[in-house]
Each structure stands twice: as structure tokens, then as C-alpha cells.
Structure 1
């Protein structure tokens, strides 16, 4: 199980780093901060550059925490929340759930994968596993089911204001 959790953390971290670098620096075929800011603003997410910066930095921080397996529930929450926002924004913009038509399917899968780590913890191959203490063990190393549920609920709640902004801007497929 620990190897599986390590693989999940590494893949999520790589994807989050790539998404962040596309938004912030235009790497890997991305738009960069200026152009992505214009796109965000056209969707009603204003100020566009500020929203892109917040999303990109959230992805970078989440990716870093997940890569290291440090404060994994916080990394999972940041990743799940950011991807839920991306998913709902894409779905409302395109009018469809399906990724092939511009919908939010793929970000939702990433959000779910991140939330899994809220239920399981990072596993043995993580910084979290090397830190001792009863509270750390309960909340971080081997989180209770409520930690995973809290991540799911918080990620869903985080998406609501952005969905309202996109709807208010009249950007619905």
C-alpha cells in the first residue's frame, strides 16, 4: 500500500507542478500569467491575474506538500479544492461534464485522487511518517475518516463562489 500511496503522491505532484508552470510561466504549452489572466477574467474570475496567481501558487504548494508527504491533509485539501474550482469552472464554461468537450471531468478526477490521500495519509515513504507525536499521528500520519470527509466537503464548498462568479458573468455553455 505504501508504494501505491507514494506513486499517487508523485503523479499528483507532477501534474500540479505542470499545471502551475503552465499558468504562471507559460511552460509545457501553457498561456502564462498574462494570457491566462485574460482568460480567467473573461470567465468572470476577476481580477484575472490575481486569480491565476492564487490558483498557480495553490497548485505549487499542494504539489510540494504531496511530493514530500508533508502535512499531507493540507496538501490534499489545496489540491482537491483547486481542482474542484477548475472542474466547475470548466464545466460551466463548456456546458458539459466531459473533458473531451472542455468539461471538468479531468480536474474532478484529480480532486478525487487528492481527497483519497486525506483518508489514507501519505504512507510510510513520507516526511509525515518520520514525525512523531500523538496529535500528528492522529491527524496527519493515519487520519481518521472525518479528515477525508472534511477535505471533500471543503473542496466542494471552495468551488461554490467561483461557480457563482462564472454564472454571474453569463458564461454557461
Structure 2
């Protein structure tokens, strides 16, 4: 089981690395801070470049924790929160990714939640440092709750921006 958890952690971390560097550096066809920032602004996250920086850095912190298995519940909470924001933002397009939906961030967040419930496994820094003694029955729900609660901050700000835009245009809000 430890090998499977290690592979799962490394795969999630590799995918998050791609997402983070698309935002931060424009790698892998990403827009960098300017292009991603503009996209974030259209979605209601202002100021866009700063929000792209925060999202990219959060993904880097989460992937580092998940990949190494160090402070895994905290890293999972960061990934859950970041991916919840992304999933909510894209859910207007439905679920499937080919239509711009929330499939990818949903899956990354769900994978982080699973890791929060299972723990990182024996091949992790948490295990090497004796930090895996915490009850997974407490860690998983805590990671999920903290991630979901943290996602409320940018989502509430986004809702306010979208409501103000709609009011300025004389239309109904989101």
C-alpha cells in the first residue's frame, strides 16, 4: 500500500506542478501571471495577477507537502482549498473538462482529500519523523474542513465582484 500511496502522491504533485508553473511562469502553454491574471479577472478574481500568484504559490506549497509526505494533512488542505475555488469557478461550464468544466480541479481536490484520509504511507517524511501517528480519522476530516473553509475567502470576494459587475450592467447577479 505504501508504494501505491507514494505513486499517487507523486502523480498528483506532478500535475499540480504543471498547473502552478502555467500560472507562475507560463510553462506548459500557460499564460503566466499576466495571462492567467487576465483570465482570473474575467472570472471575478481581482486583482487578477495577484490572485494568480496566490493560486500558483498555493499549488506549489501543496504539491511540495504531498510529494514529500511532510505535514500531509496541511498540504492536502491547501490543495483542497485551491481546487475547490477552481472547481466552483469553472462549474458554470458543467463537469467535463473538454467543455471547460470543473472535472480536473474536482479530481485533484478529491485526490488530496483521499490522501488526507489515508495518510501519506510509510514512504513519507511524516512517517520518518513520526508525524504519521495522528489519527487519520481526525486528519482527513480536518484537512477537508480547513480546505473548504479557506476556499470561502476568495469565493466570497469573487461573488461580490460578480454581483457588482451585474449591478453596473443592470443585470441580475451570478
TM exceeds 0.5? yes
Count of equivalent residues: 165
Q: Is the 8 A contact 2:97 2:103 kept in 1?
A: yes
Q: Is the 8 A contact 2:119 2:136 kept in 1?
A: no
State the structure with bigger RCO (CA 8 A, min sep 6), 1 or 2. 1
Q: CA deviation at 1:47?
A: 1.0
Q: TM-score, normalised by structure 1?
A: 0.87
Question: In the TM superposition, what are the counterparts of 1:1-173 in structure 2 within 5 Å?
Answer: 1-92=1-92, 94=93, 96-132=94-130, 136-139=131-134, 143-168=135-160, 169=162
Q: CA deviation at 1:43?
A: 1.4
* Cα distance in structure 2, aligned partners of 1:74 and 1:58: 11
Summarize deviations over 1:33-79 as a string: whole Å, max 9, x none. 11111111121101111110000001011111111111111111111
* Cα distance in structure 2, aligned partners of 1:103 and 1:155: 21
* Cα distance in structure 1, aligned partners of 2:133 and 2:14: 27
Q: Is the 8 A contact 1:88 1:159 kept in 2?
A: no
Alignment partner of 1:38: what SS?
Answer: helix
- Which moves more between the two structures, 103-112 or 161-170? 161-170
- Which moves more between the two structures, 156-165 or 16-25? 156-165
Name stretches of at least 5 consecutive residues in structure 1 with no aligned partner.
Answer: none
Name stretches of at least 5 consecutive residues in structure 2 with no aligned partner.
Answer: 167-172
Cα RMSD of the aligned pairs, angstroms, is 1.9
Q: TM-score, normalised by structure 2?
A: 0.86
Runs of 4+ in 1 over 4 A off after TM superposition: 170-173
Alignment partner of 1:80: what SS?
Answer: helix
Q: Which residue in 1 is equivalent to 2:169? A: none
